[in-house]
A and B are shown apart, each in its own frame.
Chain A
Amino acid sequence: MDIEKVDQIIDKHNGEPSNLLQIMLDIQKENNWLSKQALARVSEKLSVPLTRIQHIATFYKAFSLVPKGRHKVHICVGTACHVRGATRILDTVEDATGIKPGETDLDLKFSLETVNCLGCCALGPVMEVDGKVHGKMSPVKTAQALKTYE
């Protein structure tokens, strides 16, 4: 992410230190992660210490300090999904993408996370990709669904 884009986001929020969280969220949304350069720029422009930004960036799960893929895959491993075979779904995704939960593949296509409940247990086992819920998954359906993402 180039510095101009970061500057634009900061200007959009009038360079107010009180808008720090919103600025960080916007950078995260734009770039999928918070790079060291971007955070250093924010720190410099808002005169907020880097330690504070670091504290916030590590506090919220919405932020990532490492590059994330274009598609965020969430596999529910809550109780209901677990008994309906979430582990097999997770295995399928791991095989198809070659990554484990918490990781991102090399061409930044997928990031994989496990979650504990997505709130739609009746649809279990559930896979969520970029906010879209795929319910009643089987290993075959999972592999097919993943193929539709570029």
Chain B
Amino acid sequence: MGDIKFEIDGKTVTADPGMTVLEAAQKEGIYIPTLCHHEKLEPFGGCRLCIVEVEDRGWTKYVVSCVFPAAKDIIVRTRSEKVDRLRKTIIELLMAHAPDAPDLVTLAKEYNADPNRYERSASFCIHCGLCVRYCAEVAGKNAIGFVDRGINKEISFVPDIAAQVCNDCKECFPLCPTSYLQAAFVYTQALSFPDAAKTEQSAGK
């Protein structure tokens, strides 16, 4: 255990083979901001916020720490002028989609990001994949997935499956950094499996 020795922000840390830089940092209590990381899920590399500077044999590169495997003798810097600048831009880009997401607002203050730098296209989903991956990997229900690609990519419930399992689960709801997931669920529910009790209630009025 703890075979790999390397340095994060001047502190020597150890990691097991197969661990990522982010996991090693979190184990040591070093904070790296993330939006798409979840300890129960496989690394995804979706939000890119955990970008760090890695110096390996004299070469400096910028990598996403949640998918970068810990390696011997690398020097990791979680904050530097360039890392901060990169993160600022990433936050600004994400904010074009979800301007009011609490996590993003907090990060924007810290990194001095301008929420209005890019033209807004409020899709509210930032494609962190937490709901999709949680449903597939932990809940094992596969009720929600991605559809389409590129700028048209969005999350979508499979109505037949969602009608059966979602009302008793909803474990993915608190994971969503923007609340778009809840909106998508209500939308799917209203279209394909409206709550029978509620419909009767309002019909009785």
Contacts and interface: CB of A to CB of B under 8 A. Distances in A.
A51 B144 contact: yes
A54 interface: yes
A79 interface: no
Contact of B149 (A49, A51, A59): A59
Which of B132, B143, B147 has its CB near the most chain A CB atoms (within 10 A)?
B147
A138 to B, nearest CB: 36
A132 interface: no
Nearest to B132: A51
Which 4 A-B pairs give the minimum distances between C-beta atoms? A51-B145, A49-B142, A58-B147, A58-B148
B158 interface: yes
A49 B156 CA distance: 14
A147 interface: no
**Interface footprint category on A:** under 10
Interface of A: 49-52, 54-55, 58-59
Nearest to B150: A59
26 contacts: A49-B136, A49-B142, A49-B145, A50-B142, A50-B145, A50-B158, A51-B136, A51-B142, A51-B143, A51-B144, A51-B146, A51-B158, A52-B142, A52-B145, A54-B145, A54-B147, A54-B156, A54-B158, A55-B145, A55-B146, A55-B147, A58-B147, A58-B148, A58-B149, A59-B148, A59-B149
Contacts of A55: 145-147
A60 B161 CA distance: 23
Contacts of B143: 51
A52 B161 CA distance: 13
Contacts of B135: 51
Q: Is the interface of B mostly helix, strand, loop or mixed?
A: mixed
Interface in B119-157: 132, 135-136, 142-149, 156
A49 to B, nearest CB: 3
Contacts of B145: 49-52, 54-55
B136 to A, nearest CB: 7
Contacts of B146: 51, 55
Contacts of A52: 142, 145
Which of A51, A54, A55, A59 has its CB near the most chain B CB atoms (within 10 A)?
A51
A59 B149 CA distance: 6
A77 B136 CA distance: 41
A24 to B, nearest CB: 15
Nearest to B147: A58
A19 to B, nearest CB: 20
A43 to B, nearest CB: 9
A130 B147 CA distance: 27
Which of B135, B144, B146 has its CB near the most chain A CB atoms (within 10 A)?
B146
B179 to A, nearest CB: 21
Given A50-B142, A50-B158, A54-B145, 6 more contacts: A51-B132, A51-B136, A51-B145, A54-B156, A55-B146, A58-B147
